[in-house]
Structure 1
Amino acid sequence: MTDRSALQARLEQGIAALGLQLPAEAVPRLLDYQALLERWNAAYNLTAIRDPAEMVSRHLLDSLAILPYVQGQSLADLGTGPGLPGIPLAIAAPGREVLLVDSNGKKVRFLREAIRSLKLEGVRAVQSRVEEVQGQFDCITARAFASLADMLHWGGHLLAPQGQWLAMKGKAPDDELPGVPDGFSVRGIHALDVPGLGAAERHLVVLQRT
């Protein structure tokens, strides 16, 4: 078990390196989320990452790296798994309606417990396939969820007219760009420098309706 103060130092250094200003209570709540995920992971295998320090880098900071691109009053996180990036984003920038979507029952049970125990206001979890979700959202996030073509085919109906789709990828998905369906355009591809991930490549693809 890694000492919480060491995890806090790693998290705070990472947030500073990302140039983010978070609410005062964000860091302890992010660490509470990490501890809950670590505890549930022992029984439910929610993530392949087991090391707490790696969870800070690969889950918390990786999610927070896209915060500057998040906009609007509502966000849907598709294929959220154990709440990534949706829960860290909800903690870092409260006040937005957030819908966490996953088809895996174990993961959704964890999400509901996290929402309850962390008192995440405005955050809901739903067990559903993406194509069956209803509503429209100002911002949609999806982390290593599917190809750009599949993401937009399944979930494109959820993006509000002026909304922004944030697709989190490893290496730059140049081979996926020709598959972006009609009605959507790529507004930018941003290389993300996530503290603690070393040479691991991270990119964010920003899409909008045309």
Structure 2
Amino acid sequence: MKTLTKEMQSAITPQQAFQLLKKGNERFINNLKANRNLLQQVNETSDGQHPFAVILSCIDSRTSAELIFDQGLGDIFSIRIAGNILNEDILGSMEFACKLAGAKIIVVLGHSKCGAIKGACDHAKLGNLTTLLDKIKPAIDSENTIKENRSSSNAEFVEKVADLNVKLTVKAITERSPILREMIQNGSVSLVGGMYDVGSGLVSFYDEETFEVDSKILAEESLTK
């Protein structure tokens, strides 16, 4: 597998970038790896980097984006934070990755059995973690199909909140970053959400239609910002 050059990066379309990630995950779940020389890539990226994707995922030790998508050095920007939440610093990092460094796709990647989601569902309080988990609250409030046992002991509730957390984050990126919104609208960058199954290794990507959230929920979400 060749190290990405600026010319190679420029030739990749957002749709091709999406396919590169999908094929990488297929290799991962089939216990295959692209043939690459990482030490050679260290040398070849020493003077610059030209990643084709930026991935926002959780800090969970099982969810390394480079491994999940079978990518090498210089291939992806990896942003990791508990609960794959969004803040101004992360938005700024995404703007750098796409506008200045040329990435072609943004992926918001949640995962099953997420500890941050469980903590938020239980309204956990612990130092600065409290502020982070508060950013997951809109997803908890938006989940209105489960009326009882809305805690981490209910696995179905946890997964539904994790799903909504990704979808609301995807929507928030376009709402809170005019730079990224313009790039997405003009087709130079694509934005997609997905969920990683820690049991199988499979990444399931969402269709565009799944980003549509009830207008009432969105109105309530906007009030929390």
Q: Same fold (TM over 0.5)?
A: no
Question: Which structure has the higher relative contact order (CA within 8 Å, separation 6+)?
Answer: 2
In the superposition, the TM-score normalised over structure 2's length comes to 0.31
Instruction: Normalising by structure 1, report the TM-score.
Output: 0.33
Structure with the higher strand share, 1 or 2:
1
Q: Normalized per residue, which structure has more helix?
A: 2
The structure with more radius of gyration: 2
